[in-house]
Chains A and B, each alone.
Chain A
């Protein structure tokens, strides 16, 4: 919108080295960095569309009367749910195990990834097995796991690790395998030991890949946590969603559901920022 005004206003001044004014190609237009105001405006438009669509679904009574609350109703519920006395503890019941699981995922995933990425034979011999294991549907064993692990934090953490460690492992393997051979040679010629090279060269070089894996795993872990809470009946946001749904209090259910979704946004954006900070040395961030 404002961009067309910019291009027409920057007319070349007639002079000795006059450059032909050239209209922007489609590819240039598609790739150009929009101004912050444009971005804010577009976001507002998209949000408005979303709200209108939501209200429309409510008005049309999709899924039966009362299934989808009105926009004002859902905002009211969100406010009511988040200001409730026990909200902080419910939130922590979800966030705490999520965080614990994620720490294990990062440490374990990176460790396994470094080993598999370093030793070609290990990578080659485990690849099919990893694909096999990570295709396992965790939902199938939740009832069984409730019996052995109990309705507990442990249950959530086990499921988070079992499902979310794989993106981390795979990303780390790719990262380790794509460390610049010149970097490796430089490390060797400086007589770095294997462990020194891992800490000072391989791991930092792998960080961009690990960061991507972390962003994928973090949101995935949140979904798994809520899923286990719903299916296993473990206290947390998921259980609240399930409880209010079962009780027919659809509006409150939506309040918790939106809380969970907003948490996802915070997690995703938070990790993006963390990534930008931690990888400020990397070419993609400078």
Chain B
């Protein structure tokens, strides 16, 4: 029921293109390669999840994608334009909302900040910020400060801020890693709703394999040192998903196992197999 036929993407230019991306840090003794010849695409309105063992270089990759860092080789394009600085069409949601939101600004001022930077008039930007807060389900906390809210609510504020200047691409760096399980489910559904409502493309980095299967249209598995794309898996659940029924779908377990095998197959990490044992209790 919930799993309608997998939508074929239109043949247009991808929203995000990563071509032969390599990142090597100059080390004290020898240079340390973190990313090696990485290729990746995210289509318009597509939800792609990036998984990989911890320490695989996901953060470095996100910094390159968001224009915060220049890769050693290769290129990143957002909406066709080469990324040399943080692109206007792309917004980032950081994992640590308590550090990415500014405690000296009220919730609504935090959300309106990207518009303020663009010189949007006060009344207009506050109206738009209020609209975004409604979108993420936080209508009545505008005047409060971020630190007065729960973790889940703070991450909603961060998402509202990321959406306020109508980006075409959203990068989310383990956005739900530091909230409790129920809040996490709610925020995952919020991410799906936002994609459906706004048509924004989302690239979400996570170390939670279940989360990647539940959210992604495709799952990109990173592995190796230096990291590259090990495999890309299609997830056939369509745009409408349900925490209970989607997760109970037999294909859910199949894909999850597939992801696990791919991560373990690389034989790189100790962290991933350990969590795999826990995950097998479900389904």
Cα–Cα distance between A161 and B23 once the two chains are bound (Å): 49
Contact (Cβ within 8 A) A191 B114: yes
Task: Provide the bound-state CA to CA distance between A23 and B24, in Å.
Answer: 57
The answer to whether residues A189 and B92 also contact, given A204-B104, A281-B145 and a CB cut-off of 8 A, is: yes
* Bound-complex Cα distance A119 to B226 (A): 33
Which of the 9-residue segments B93-101, B210-218, B230-238, B265-273 touches chain A? Answer: B93-101
Q: How far is the CA of A5 from the CA of B192 in the complex (A)?
A: 57
Of B85, B113, B147, the contact of A286 (CB 8 Å cutoff): B147
CA distance A150 to B88 in the complex (A): 58
Q: Which of B103-130 contact A (CB under 8 A)?
A: 103-105, 113-114, 116-118
Q: A185 contacts B145, CB within 8 Å?
A: no
Interface positions of B from 49 to 88, Cβ below 8 Å from A: 63, 66-68, 85-86, 88
Instruction: Give the chain A neighbours of B185 by CB distance below 8 A.
Output: none
B102: contacting residue among A183, A189, A191, CB under 8 A: A183
Which of A70-78, A192-200, A211-219, A255-263 is found at the contact surface with chain B?
A: A192-200
Interface residues of A in 183-229 (CB under 8 A from B): 183, 185-186, 188-193, 196, 200-201, 204-205, 207
Q: Mark A143-163, 1 if CB is under 8 A from B, else 0.
A: 000000000000000000000
Checking A189, A281, A286 against B91 with a beta-carbon cut-off of 8 angstroms, the contacting residue is A189
A191–B165 Cα distance when bound, in Å, is 11
Report if A61 contacts B (CB, 8 A): no
Known: A183-B102, A281-B145. A191 touches B96 (CB 8 A): no
* A180: interface (CB < 8 Å): yes
Which residue of B66, B103, B104, B118 is within 8 Å of A189 (Cβ)? B66
**Contact, CB under 8 Å: A182 / B113:** no
Nearest CB of chain A from residue B60's CB, rounded to whole Å: 13
Residues of A within 8 Å of B86, CB to CB, are 188-191
How long is the Cα–Cα vector from A183 to B104 in the complex, in angstroms?
12
Do A185 and B68 touch (CB < 8 A)?
Answer: yes
Closest to A286 in B: B147
A191 to B161, CA, bound (A): 13
Given contacts A185-B68, A286-B147, whether A190 and B104 have CB atoms under 8 Å apart is: no
Chain A positions within 8 Å of B92 at CB level: 185-186, 189
Report how many residues on chain B are interfacial, defined by Cβ distance under 8 Å: 26
Residues of B near A205 (CB, < 8 A) are 102, 104
Q: Does A282 contact B (CB under 8 A)?
A: yes
Contacts of A190 in B (CB 8 A): 86, 91, 113-114, 117, 161
Q: Which residues of A contact B118 (CB under 8 A)?
A: 191
Q: State in angstroms the CA–CA spacing of A182 and B118 once bound together.
A: 21
Q: How far is the CA of A129 from the CA of B147 in the complex (A)?
A: 41
B100 engages A196 (CB within 8 Å): no
Q: Give chain A nearest CB distance to B100 CB in angstroms.
A: 4
- With contacts A189-B86, A281-B147 known, is A204 near B102, CB below 8 A? yes
Complex: chain B residue closest to A180, CB-CB? B99
In this complex, the member of B66, B86, B147 whose beta carbon has the largest number of chain A beta carbons within 10 angstroms is B86
Q: Tell whether, in the assembled complex, residue B94 and residue A185 are in contact, meaning their CB atoms are under 8 Å apart.
A: yes
Selected from B63, B91, B102, B147, the residue in CB contact (under 8 A) with A201 is B102
Q: How far is the CA of A281 from the CA of B110 in the complex (A)?
A: 13
Pick the residue among A182, A200, A286 that contacts B96 (CB under 8 A).
A182
**Distance (whole angstroms) from the CB of A259 to the closest CB of chain B:** 37
Partner of A192, one of B63, B90, B117, B145: B117
Chain B positions within 8 Å of A286 at CB level: 147
Complex interface: chain A residues within 8 A of B68 (CB): 185, 188-189
Binary per-residue interface labels of chain B (137-179) against chain A in the complex, 1 for a CB within 8 Å, 0 otherwise? 0000000010100000000000001000000000000000000
The 7 A-B pairs of least Cβ separation, nearest first, read: A182-B99, A204-B104, A186-B100, A189-B92, A190-B114, A281-B104, A281-B103
17 chain-A/chain-B pairs, Cβ below 8 angstroms: A180-B99, A183-B99, A185-B68, A185-B100, A188-B68, A189-B67, A189-B90, A189-B91, A190-B91, A190-B117, A191-B118, A200-B102, A200-B113, A205-B102, A281-B103, A282-B103, A283-B103
**Hey, which bits of chain A sit against chain B, CB under 8 A?**
180, 182-183, 185-186, 188-193, 196, 200-201, 204-205, 207, 281-283, 286
Give me 7 other A-B pairs in contact (C-beta within 8 A), A200-B113, A281-B104, A281-B145 excluded.
A180-B99, A182-B96, A185-B63, A190-B91, A190-B161, A207-B104, A286-B147
